[in-house]
Copies of this chain bind each other. A is one copy, B any other.
Amino acid sequence: MNKINLTISELNKAYTSGTLSPAVLIPELISQAKKQQAVWIHLLNEDELQPYLAGLKTKSPQTHALYGVPFAIKDNIDLAGVPTTAACAEFSYIPEKSAFVVEQLIAAGAIPIGKTNLDQFATGLVGTRSPYGETPNAFNPDYISGGSSSGSAVSLALGTVSFSLGTDTAGSGRVPACFNNLVGLKPSKGLLSTSGVVPACRSLDCVSIFALTAHDANQVFQIAAQYDSQDSFSRSNPAANQAPVLAKANFTFAVPFDEQLTFFGDHAYQAEFEKAVAGLEAIGGHKKQLDFSPMLQAAKLLYEGPWVAERYIATQHIIENQSQAMLDVTRTIISSGNKPLATDCFAALYQLQALKKQADLIVEQVDFLVSPTAGRHYSREEIRENPIGFNSNLGYYTNFMNLLDFSAIAVPTSFTDNNMPFGITLFGQAMQDQTLLAYADKIMQYNQLTLGATDWPFITENINSDDNPGFIDLAVCG
């Protein structure tokens, strides 16, 4: 494991002091990445990397927040000149330009090191649905990494990058964060451009951010969340959500009614959720138990409703002409997308509209809402036995977020007795990203967990007092 703490602040400190340079670090990280199993679909070779390092010549760690910061890109997001596969070789193409969001990060000094494995066409929450191999969990290879952004999560957890990009339509940026001890920010829909991203369900797709800390997620979010006039789903970020906000000393949060909580038999996760709630109370939270049924009904609607038609549209050429190129499970799911009628579609949109109204009445009662990020952590063996049913269970707490236009952040909170990570998700209305980040930071400061699957300590750097990693005093803790 890499000895250098790759959090953005620590890395910036090392670059600033001159003890480290990107030209030394990045190739070393790529060498390390080459040894990782089923994490990467493409790693940059020397020629591909060179222009990004060269681009740093006009930048410095003092002027560019992400100077020399290595990041991974889920392989359904374009990086100029290298293939985008969406984990389907036959679908592959080489984009001329990078995705809009990737361009923002590179402009701020970040260095892409490669494209990561995923559940094919971002269809799955398991991390096992890829012809490029099942991505093993960063803590125990017998367990799933979670998906669909499996490689982006595991590469970060293993300490190979400082942050990574995923996508999150139904939970793909949160479930693997939970299973690998990471922060997974699913920003408000439309804040991170999807130009240059392979669509899954275009009306719901989000680019998501994996980071080691909420502080880092916030750094990346502020750079990545730029309005894109070429993306018809792009939305402007209101001023209140553009800079860090203060977490209240005393706050309210909602958890579901007892009978709405399910752990699918995972007693360890159940116990850790109780601890996480107790932790929230310990840091000033006042718990309310509220009715999450509008959310849970919306979650169900995603899989039972017509949205699979969007996946069909996104893969229509492959599915109608080269369907053998798809994994069986992916084909089974997506090929049903040309069955529902427009009447089904509108009927589901009406249901959703009604659920949104109900959900809004619940959301407005608290500062934010809390659930487990996933109810259970399955082994790869279990997923092989029930690849669709157990996958659905993983979406129980995640599927509704984009349908209901919420922002959400997965936060690691503890480890089970078997040393496997557990985390919760904080969520609220769209454009509350900064609020959620502030509370996520507060939780992480309280828990002081080591970062990802590394032995790097959590270093307290208050998200609220600073938005430039180059100029802060660091208090080393843990």
Please report A residues at the B interface, Cβ cutoff 8 Å: 202-203, 229, 232-234, 306, 309-310, 312-313, 316, 337-347, 349-350, 353-354, 356-357
Closest to A201 in B: B346
Asked if B233 and A353 make an inter-chain contact with CB atoms under 8 angstroms apart, the answer reads yes
A199 CB, nearest partner CB in chain B, Å: 9
Residue of B234, B344, B357 near A342 (CB, 8 A) is B344
20 A-B residue pairs with CB within 8 Å: A202-B346, A202-B350, A203-B346, A203-B349, A232-B350, A232-B353, A306-B342, A306-B345, A309-B341, A309-B346, A310-B346, A312-B343, A313-B343, A316-B343, A337-B343, A338-B341, A338-B343, A340-B342, A342-B344, A345-B346
The verdict on A313 contacting B349 (CB below 8 Å), with A341-B340, A341-B341 known, is no
A284 CB, nearest partner CB in chain B, Å: 31
Q: A interface, by DSSP: helix, strand, loop or mixed?
A: helix
The answer for the CA separation of A143 and B182 in the assembled complex, in Å, is: 70
Closest to A352 in B: B232
The answer for the CA separation of A110 and B68 in the assembled complex, in Å, is: 70
| Stoichiometry (number of copies) | 2
Closest to A199 in B: B350
Closest to A313 in B: B343
The answer for the CA separation of A96 and B224 in the assembled complex, in Å, is: 54
The answer for the CA separation of A97 and B407 in the assembled complex, in Å, is: 39
A381 CB, nearest partner CB in chain B, Å: 35
Which of chain B's residues have a CB closer than 8 A to the CB of A341?
A: 309, 338-342
Which of chain B's residues have a CB closer than 8 A to the CB of A337?
A: 342-343
Asked if B232 and A343 make an inter-chain contact with CB atoms under 8 angstroms apart, the answer reads no
The answer for the CA separation of A146 and B399 in the assembled complex, in Å, is: 46
Asked if B229 and A347 make an inter-chain contact with CB atoms under 8 angstroms apart, the answer reads no
Closest to A357 in B: B232
Which of chain B's residues have a CB closer than 8 A to the CB of A340?
A: 341-342
Closest to A350 in B: B202
Which of chain B's residues have a CB closer than 8 A to the CB of A338?
A: 341, 343
Which of chain B's residues have a CB closer than 8 A to the CB of A349?
A: 203
In addition to A232-B353, A234-B357, A345-B345, 19 A-B residue pairs with Cβ atoms within 8 Å of each other are A202-B346, A203-B346, A229-B357, A232-B350, A232-B357, A233-B353, A306-B345, A306-B346, A309-B341, A309-B343, A309-B346, A312-B343, A313-B343, A313-B346, A337-B342, A339-B341, A341-B341, A342-B342, A345-B346
Which of chain B's residues have a CB closer than 8 A to the CB of A233?
A: 353
Which of chain B's residues have a CB closer than 8 A to the CB of A357?
A: 229, 232, 234
Which of chain B's residues have a CB closer than 8 A to the CB of A343?
A: 309, 312-313, 316, 337-338
Asked if B309 and A232 make an inter-chain contact with CB atoms under 8 angstroms apart, the answer reads no
A226 CB, nearest partner CB in chain B, Å: 15
Which of chain B's residues have a CB closer than 8 A to the CB of A316?
A: 343
Smallest CB-CB A-B distances: 10 pairs: A309-B342, A306-B342, A340-B342, A345-B345, A232-B354, A342-B345, A232-B353, A309-B343, A232-B357, A310-B346
Closest to A312 in B: B343
The answer for the CA separation of A341 and B344 in the assembled complex, in Å, is: 8
